[in-house]
Amino acid sequence: MSVWDSIFGPQSEPPDTVVLVTAGIALVVVFVSALWRPARNVITIVHEAGHALVALLAGRRLSGIRLHSDTSGLTLTRGKPHGPGMVCTALAGYVAPSLLGLLFAALVGADRVAGLLIVCAVLLLGVLIMVRNAFGVFSVLVTGAVLVGVSWVATDDIQSAFAYVITWFLLLGGIRPVFELQRKRWRRRARDSDADQLARLTGAPGVFWVAMFLMINLGSLVLAGSWLLG
């Protein structure tokens, strides 16, 4: 078997109970605040990675990424302060976890668990290169250490279950921050949020963009769920 086949070739399909149990685990992590708070750092990493990737694709220059201990983050880019590139960059953050979860659902649904772990590693390495603060480096390294530990030490069955947990967590964990964002907006504590930046860039109200985030993320969950449970 070639190296390509060993990484991206199909692995054994897990039992249906594994798919359901891992969905339950992810659901508990997302809805139990004591678990959500540390786990949300992973969502923030993907959120900021989404901003960074789309900024680069849109021709903007990436200055750096900052991840904070309160689970917030900031991606600094340079370029025109308006136009389609800036709109796409601002739009990318809140939908990035769910869209990545959709990609992962396609991979695990095709039994490409090793490929999923490789994508995770590449994403973390890219963020690590661009992080510009100590907590951000710490957060990415801890997440990477967990990924490396599972990839090198765990059995194939545990790796498969871990991949399903990651996938469900991204799909479900991408939705909760949208509600948190709107709650902050109601309290007027998010004047520079992505939704409000998009409102200033496009003229459409911030609540429209919050609804857009939610529609994309819920749609990703429904589509991915049909793949994983079908």
Using one digit for the tens of pLDDT, what is the confidence trace for 74-124? 999 999 889 999 999 999 999 999 999 999 999 998 888 888 999 999 999
Residue-wise pLDDT tens digits, 217-229: 999 999 999 999 9
Contact indicator for 175, 221 with CB cutoff of 8 Å: yes
Is there a contact between 93 and 50 (Cβ–Cβ < 8 Å)?
yes
| Burial (CB count <10 Å: 0-12, 13-18, 19+), residue 136 | buried
φ and ψ at residue 61, rounded to 5 degrees? -100, 130
- pLDDT surpassing 80 at residue 6: no
User: What is the pLDDT, as a whole number, of residue 127?
Assistant: 96
Dihedral sign from CA coordinates of 185, 131, 88, 37: negative
How far is 4 from 18, CA to CA, in rounded Å?
26
Nearest Cα to Cα of residue 43 among 158, 153, 181: 181
Kindly report the average pLDDT of the chain as a whole number: 92
Q: Residue 131: helix, strand or coil by DSSP? A: strand
Q: Residue 155 carries which DSSP code? A: -
Rounded to an integer, what distance in angstroms lies between the CA atom of residue 110 and that of residue 230? Answer: 12
Q: What is the pTM of this model?
A: 0.93
pLDDT (tens digit per residue) in 19-69: 999 999 999 999 999 999 999 999 999 999 999 999 999 999 999 999 999
